[in-house]
Chains A and B, each alone.
Chain A
Amino acid sequence: MKFDTIIIGGGLSGLVCGIECARSGRRTAIVSAGQSALHFWSGSFEFLGSQGGKRIIEKPLYHAGSLDPSHPYRKIGIDRTAALLDRTVPLLAEAGIKAHGSLERNHYRMTPLGFTKPAWLTLDDYLAFGNLSDLEGKKAAVINIYSYIDFYPRFLEAGLRKLGAECTSADVNVPQLDILRQSTTEMRATNMSRFLRDDAVDALAREVEKASAGADMVVMPAVLGIFSDEPVARLRRGVSRPIYFVATTPASVPGVRCQLSLRDLFIRLGGQFMPGDTVTRGDFQGNRLRKIYTVNFGDIPLEADNFVISTGSFFGHGLIADLEKIYEPVFGLDIEAAPNRDDWYDKDFYAPQPYMGYGVVTDTHFRPRRHGETVDNLYATGALLSGFNALHEGSGAGITLATAFHAADQITKE
C-alpha cells in the first residue's frame, strides 16, 4: 500500500504533523499503537517554563535564545520556532479546541494539587492567570462532585490561598450521576462527562449556583465536555459566576477531547488513521527508508516517499530501557544515552534525571541516524528526540509541536 507520507505515532506530534501533510494534499497515513500521552493532558501547553537555574521564567522566548545549541529550539532557530508555534492556536481552533496564550510572556496555570506552573497556552475554560497577584482577595468556590475519586479539593484550596484567594469548598451532586456510583471504581471524570449533558447539566448548574453563593469565581474538576463544547456552555449559562476547570487524571477530559478532535480533523483532511497497530521493522535501501511492516498488515508493506517517527519517549515506547541498554525499537535508530546504566539516574529523585534527556540522534533537519548514517527521508519529532529535559525545563509541548510543524514543512515544501 502506497502513501506519500507515513507517520508512526498518533499522539500530539504525529497528529499535528499528519494534519499539516494531509492539508497539503499529500496522501498521509498515521499508524498508532494504542492511545497517547495526550490522554493525561492538563489543558495547558508549555514552551519554556524554567531555565538557567530559574524555576519560573516570565519571558520564555527571550530565554530560549540562551539554550544549548543542541536544543531542538536552537536547531530550528528561535525566530523560526516562534513562527511555527504561532500556527498552533489556529490549528487547534480548526479542530474545535479554543486556547490562548503568548510565547513572549508565560502565564500561570494551577495543577489539581495546587501548584502554580508557567504555561504558554491554556484552554479557554481552564484555570489560568496572567500574574501571580491576580487572585489576591478573590473569593473562589472550589466545587467538587460528591464521591468523585480523582480530585482532592483541599490541595487546590491550599494553592489558591497561597496566592491570596479566599476559598470555600462544597460537594455537589445531581441524580443523573447516581447511576455511576453503582460501581465503586467508575466514578471517573471521563465517565461522568458521558452522563453530564442536557438536563443533567441544568441540574448541575443549579447546584453549583447555590453552592458558590457569594463567590467571585467557581473552580471545578474538568468532568464535562468530552465530545463537545455544549455541556460547558450550558453550565456557564446556568451559573452567574465565571467557572474555571482544572483537568484531572487518569484519562483527562480535555486530553481525550483534544486527541479525538485532532484525529477527526486529520481524517476530515483525507488522512488515514490506523489505530491499534505497531510498526515492526523497516526496509532500507541505501540511506532511504522504503517500506515499513506492521503487526496487522503482516507481509503487506506500507510504502511512502517520506516517513516521520513520533513514537514518544519511554512512556510511549518510543524508547525502551532494559537492564543493559536503551534502544529505539522500530528501526534501531542511533540513541544519545549514557552506555552505563548507573549513569542513567541521579540518586536525588528531584534532580534532573539524565535518562529524561535521552533520545534519538538527529542532524540539523531532525533526520535520525542509523548505524551512523543519516536516513534521508525520515524525520523524528517530539519526545523521541534528544537534547532536552522536558520535565525539568517545562518545554515538552513546545518541542513536540515545533518539531511536528518543522517536519511537515520540510516534507511539504520539498
Chain B
Amino acid sequence: MNLQEQNISDNNFESCIKCTICTVYCPVTAVNPDYPGPKQAGPDGERYRLKRPYFYDEALKYCLNCKRCEVACPNDVKIGDIIQAARIKYASHGPSLRDTMLANTDFMGQFATRLAPVVNFSLGLKPVKYLMDKVLRIDDHRTFPKYSGTRFESWFRKKAEAAQESFTKHVSYFHGCYVNYNYPQLGKDLVTVMNALGYGVRLLDREKCCGVAKIANRCIDEATRDGENNLRAIREAVGRGDEVLATSSTCCFTMRDEYPHLLHLDNHDVRDHIMLATLFIYRLLDEGKARIAFRKDYRKKIAYHTPCHMEKLGWTIFSTSLLQMIPGVDFIKLDSHCCGIAGTYGFKKENYAYSQGIGAPLFDQIRASGCDFVACDCETCKWQIEMSAGVPVLNPISVLADAIDIEETRRLNGVS
C-alpha cells in the first residue's frame, strides 16, 4: 500500500506546497485586490472549508475559471477546480435573475433568434442598456453579440444535410450556442472545410449548451442535465464511428474536463473523441490522410490569441500550425494573456473594470501589431477583443475556409 497515494483527495489540495507560483500567473490577482488569489482561494481555503463551511469567502466569485493557475502549478494541483467546486458547494444564495439569464444561453438564444432584428436593435439602444445596467447590473459598456435570424441548425437541415451522407467518411459537429444563435457562418465554414477535405458533417442529436455558462453561474442542476444529454448524443456519434469536433476551445474543454471534475459526469469512454476541429484537421494533414491547397492570392497579417482554455488544453500549436501553413500569411503569435472576459464574467457590472484591466496589455499588443485581424478559437475572447481592441477576430476554421482553394482541395481529396 502506498500511503502517499492513499493520502490524497480527489482535488489533491494536499499536494500544494504553498509555493505561490499560481498567484504569479493569476490574471485577477493582478488587478483585483478583493480576490484572495488562487492559492488562498483554492488549496489553503479548502482546508478551512472542510473544517467549517463558515470559512467560505464570497470573493471566490471573482475567479475567472481561466485555469492558468493549474497550467502554472508545479505539483498538478487542480486549483481552479477546487475554487469552482467550492463556489458550487458553499455559496450561500442561489444565482440571481441576471446570472440565470446570462447562464441560459439556449433559452435566451431560442427566444432571441426568433426576434433577432428587434432584439439586436433593442440591445444596442442606450435606454435599454441603461436599464439593463441599473436593473440587472449588466454593464452598459458591453456590446452584446448580435443574434442571427436563422439558426445554424435550421440552415444545416435545409441547405447542407442532404449532401453530407454522400461522403464515405464523417465527423460529428458540436456547434455550441454561439454558432447556432449568433454566428452560423462559422458552422458553415466548418462544413465547407470538412467537405473539401473529404468528410461529411453530421450534427449531434439534440445538442444542448456545453454548460460552461451554467457552471460559472452555479445553475448546476441544469448544467448536469445538459451535460448528460450531450454525453448521450456524443456516445451515439462515437458509436457510429465519428469523432466529435468543436470550433470553440471552451465548449471542448468543458465537455472533456469540467464534466468529470465539476459535474461528476463520467465521460472517460468518449473524452478522447471530443476534440477541436483544428486538431483533427492538423492530424489529417500530418498523417497524409487528407491534402489541402491554398489560394495563391491570399495575403493577410494574422495575430493569434491563445484563449485560456486553449492554453489549458495545450492545443494552441494545432491552430497556429494550420495558420502558418497558409503561404500568404504573415503570422504573429501574441503573448498568451487572458483577455479578461471569461464568458459571462465580463458582462457583470461588478467585474467590468477588472475585465478590461486584465485584458489591457493584450489589447495594446494587438493594436501595436498592425495585424489585419486576430485569429482565436474562442467566441467570448472574440467579443472582448473586437470591442476593446477594435480589431476583427476570426476563428481559424473561418480563416481556412477563406484561404483554401476549395475546388483544388476537393479534387486532391477525391471529392466530386
The answer, yes or no, to whether B74 is at the interface (CB within 8 Å) is: yes
Annotate B18-54 by CB proximity to A: 1 below 8 A, 0 otherwise.
Answer: 1111011100011001111101100010000000000
Bound form: Cα–Cα A275–B315 in Å: 10
Interface residues of A in 174-207 (CB under 8 A from B): 179-183, 185-186, 188, 190-191, 194
Determine whether the beta carbon of A185 is less than 8 Å from that of B19: no
The answer, yes or no, to whether B89 is at the interface (CB within 8 Å) is: no
Pick from A34, A267, A298, A322: contact of B333, CB below 8 A: A267
Residues of A within 8 A of B70 (CB): 276
Annotate B297-318 by CB proximity to A: 1 below 8 A, 0 otherwise.
Answer: 0000000000000011111010
Determine whether the beta carbon of B2 is less than 8 Å from that of A322: yes
Pick from B29, B33, B315: contact of A296, CB below 8 A: B315
Determine whether the beta carbon of A35 is less than 8 Å from that of B283: no
Residues of B within 8 A of A40 (CB): 19
Residues of A within 8 A of B44 (CB): 185
Residues of A within 8 A of B321 (CB): 1
With A251-B24, A299-B272 as known contacts, state yes or no: A323 contacts B34, CB within 8 Å.
Answer: no
Determine whether the beta carbon of B19 is less than 8 Å from that of A250: yes
Determine whether the beta carbon of A296 is less than 8 Å from that of B2: no
Residues of A within 8 A of B20 (CB): 188, 190, 250-251
Pick from A39, A295, A297: contact of B21, CB below 8 A: A39
The answer, yes or no, to whether A391 is at the interface (CB within 8 Å) is: no
Annotate A309-330 by CB proximity to B: 1 below 8 A, 0 otherwise.
Answer: 0000001110000110000000
Residues of B within 8 A of A191 (CB): 23, 29-30, 37
Pick from A34, A181, A185, A186: contact of B74, CB below 8 A: A34
Determine whether the beta carbon of B33 is less than 8 Å from that of A275: no
The answer, yes or no, to whether A33 is at the interface (CB within 8 Å) is: yes
The answer, yes or no, to whether B286 is at the interface (CB within 8 Å) is: yes
Most chain A CB inside 10 Å of its own CB: which residue of B20, B39, B44:
B20
Bound form: Cα–Cα A181–B44 in Å: 18
Determine whether the beta carbon of B33 is less than 8 Å from that of A183: yes
The answer, yes or no, to whether A28 is at the interface (CB within 8 Å) is: no
Bound form: Cα–Cα A191–B2 in Å: 38
The answer, yes or no, to whether B135 is at the interface (CB within 8 Å) is: no
Pick from B4, B24, B73, B279: contact of A190, CB below 8 A: B24
Bound form: Cα–Cα A1–B284 in Å: 11
Bound form: Cα–Cα A322–B4 in Å: 8
Residues of A within 8 A of B24 (CB): 35, 39, 190, 251, 256
The answer, yes or no, to whether B76 is at the interface (CB within 8 Å) is: yes
Most chain A CB inside 10 Å of its own CB: which residue of B2, B4, B18, B71:
B71
Residues of B within 8 A of A35 (CB): 21, 24-25, 72-74
Residues of A within 8 A of B74 (CB): 33-37, 315-317
Residues of B within 8 A of A322 (CB): 2, 4
Cβ distance B284 to chain A, nearest Cβ, rounded Å = 12
Determine whether the beta carbon of B30 is less than 8 Å from that of A186: no
Interface residues of A in 39-72 (CB under 8 A from B): 39-40
**How many of A's residues come within 8 Å of B, CB to CB?**
42
The answer, yes or no, to whether A300 is at the interface (CB within 8 Å) is: yes
**How many of B's residues come within 8 Å of A, CB to CB?**
40
The answer, yes or no, to whether B75 is at the interface (CB within 8 Å) is: yes
Residues of B within 8 A of A278 (CB): 76
Determine whether the beta carbon of A33 is less than 8 Å from that of B23: no
The answer, yes or no, to whether A215 is at the interface (CB within 8 Å) is: no
The answer, yes or no, to whether A376 is at the interface (CB within 8 Å) is: no
Determine whether the beta carbon of B23 is less than 8 Å from that of A39: no
Determine whether the beta carbon of B36 is less than 8 Å from that of A298: no
Most chain B CB inside 10 Å of its own CB: which residue of A181, A185, A274, A298:
A185
Bound form: Cα–Cα A316–B286 in Å: 33
With A191-B23, A274-B317, A276-B311 as known contacts, state yes or no: A34 contacts B72, CB within 8 Å.
Answer: yes
The answer, yes or no, to whether A334 is at the interface (CB within 8 Å) is: no
Determine whether the beta carbon of A323 is less than 8 Å from that of B2: yes
| Chain B, Cβ-Cβ closest to A294 | B314
Pick from B3, B18, B36, B286: contact of A250, CB below 8 A: B18
Cβ distance B282 to chain A, nearest Cβ, rounded Å = 8
The answer, yes or no, to whether A102 is at the interface (CB within 8 Å) is: no
Determine whether the beta carbon of A34 is less than 8 Å from that of B29: no
Interface residues of A in 19-43 (CB under 8 A from B): 33-37, 39-40
Residues of B within 8 A of A216 (CB): none
Bound form: Cα–Cα A295–B2 in Å: 23
The answer, yes or no, to whether A277 is at the interface (CB within 8 Å) is: yes
Determine whether the beta carbon of A185 is less than 8 Å from that of B36: yes
| Chain A, Cβ-Cβ closest to B271 | A298
Annotate B321-345 by CB proximity to A: 1 below 8 A, 0 otherwise.
Answer: 1000000000001001000000000
Residues of A within 8 A of B311 (CB): 275-276
Pick from B3, B4, B272, B286: contact of A298, CB below 8 A: B272
With A250-B20, A267-B333, A322-B2 as known contacts, state yes or no: A182 contacts B34, CB within 8 Å.
Answer: yes
Annotate B69-103 by CB proximity to A: 1 below 8 A, 0 otherwise.
Answer: 01111111000000000000000000000000000
Residues of B within 8 A of A194 (CB): 30
| Chain B, Cβ-Cβ closest to A320 | B4
The answer, yes or no, to whether A272 is at the interface (CB within 8 Å) is: yes
Determine whether the beta carbon of A183 is less than 8 Å from that of B2: no
Determine whether the beta carbon of B37 is less than 8 Å from that of A300: no
Residues of A within 8 A of B317 (CB): 1, 272, 274
Bound form: Cα–Cα A274–B72 in Å: 12
With A183-B37, A185-B36, A194-B30 as known contacts, state yes or no: A276 contacts B72, CB within 8 Å.
Answer: yes
Pick from A181, A185, A250, A267: contact of B37, CB below 8 A: A185
With A39-B24, A251-B19, A267-B333 as known contacts, state yes or no: A186 contacts B37, CB within 8 Å.
Answer: yes
With A251-B24, A296-B314, A323-B3 as known contacts, state yes or no: A183 contacts B40, CB within 8 Å.
Answer: yes
Bound form: Cα–Cα A316–B73 in Å: 11
Cβ distance A358 to chain B, nearest Cβ, rounded Å = 18
Residues of B within 8 A of A275 (CB): 71-72, 311, 314, 336
Most chain B CB inside 10 Å of its own CB: which residue of A180, A181, A276, A323:
A276
Annotate A275-301 by CB proximity to B: 1 below 8 A, 0 otherwise.
Answer: 111100000000000000011111110
Cβ distance B307 to chain A, nearest Cβ, rounded Å = 14
Determine whether the beta carbon of B35 is less than 8 Å from that of A276: no
Determine whether the beta carbon of A296 is less than 8 Å from that of B272: no
With A39-B21, A251-B24 as known contacts, state yes or no: A276 contacts B314, CB within 8 Å.
Answer: yes
Residues of B within 8 A of A182 (CB): 33-34
Bound form: Cα–Cα A155–B272 in Å: 54
Annotate A259-280 by CB proximity to B: 1 below 8 A, 0 otherwise.
Answer: 0000000010000101111100
29 A-B residue pairings within 8 Å (CB atoms):
A1-B286, A1-B321, A34-B71, A34-B72, A35-B21, A35-B24, A35-B72, A37-B74, A39-B21, A180-B33, A182-B33, A183-B33, A183-B37, A185-B36, A185-B40, A185-B44, A186-B29, A186-B37, A186-B40, A251-B20, A251-B21, A274-B317, A275-B71, A275-B314, A276-B70, A277-B314, A296-B315, A300-B279, A323-B3
Q: A276-B312, A296-B314, A317-B74 are in contact. List 19 more A-B contacts (CB 8 A).
A: A1-B286, A1-B321, A34-B73, A34-B74, A35-B74, A179-B33, A182-B33, A183-B34, A183-B37, A186-B40, A190-B20, A190-B24, A191-B29, A191-B37, A267-B333, A276-B314, A295-B314, A299-B272, A317-B75
Identify the 3 closest CB pairs spanning chains A and B, nearest first.
A296-B314, A276-B71, A34-B74
